[in-house]
Amino acid sequence: MSICQLGNLQEKEQPEQINDQTEDEPQQKEEPTGLSPELLTSEKKVEPSTSNPEVIKIQAWWRGTLVRRTLLHAVIRALVIQRWWKNILTKLMEKRRRAALETFTRNEWAAVKLQSWVRMWRIRRRYCRLLNAALIIQAYWRCHSCASRGFIKGHYRVTANQLHLELEILLGSGPCVVSECIPLPIKQ
């Protein structure tokens, strides 16, 4: 038997309602009988016939289908909520990670900058001391001229990590050239 035939069979087995009015019949007024409406309706209810086992199987199958569909919809809704919550947590963790990374980077950058400033200050202080000493020596040599002893002149050159010093001493017998390279202790 097919499902359509069973549906038609169910419709034939169900009784029609007793109180249905046809169009040509006049409407009758119901007189109060003093009985409660529950009692009146309980007499009119007719239980469907459950003697056919195929009908029972189809009804059980349909109820199972409805329950499965309801559970499926509940599971899908739960999965949608879980996915949404997981996305929210992922975005929140990403924001926290980015904030921690920016704070760490800012602190590291400040430490590196401070260290470079201290190194620069120390190297500049040493350079200024050497420059001052060279200027004093130069001024002394330029002003020191003795006819009997000779003449002293010199120059210097400062590179990234050395001080080159060249002296030329002119005496009566001949020139004497002294060249000296002084390394500057610069941390690489």
Q: What is the pLDDT of residues 125-166, one digit of tens each?
A: 999 999 998 888 887 777 665 545 666 778 888 777 788 888
Q: How many Å apart are CA 73 and CA 139, to the nearest integer? A: 97
What is the rounded distance in angstroms from the CA atom of residue 135 to the CA atom of residue 154?
A: 11
Residue 167: pLDDT band with limits 50, 70, 90:
confident
Check residue 69 and give its pLDDT.
96
Residue 46: DSSP 8-state:
-
Say how far apart CA 167 and CA 179 lie, in whole Å.
Answer: 6
Where residue 89 falls among pLDDT bands split at 50, 70, 90? very high
**23 has a pLDDT exceeding 60:** no
pLDDT, residue 72, reads 96
CB-CB contact of 162 with 184 (8 Å): yes
H-helix or E-strand containing 66?
helix 53-143
- 183 φ/ψ angles, rounded to the nearest 5 degrees: -75, 140
Entry pTM = 0.37
| Residues in contact with 14: Cβ distance below 8 Å, sequence separation at least 6, in sequence order | 46, 48
DSSP 8-state assignment for residue 110: H
Q: Quick one: average pLDDT of 49-78?
A: 91
| Residue 14: predicted pLDDT | 47
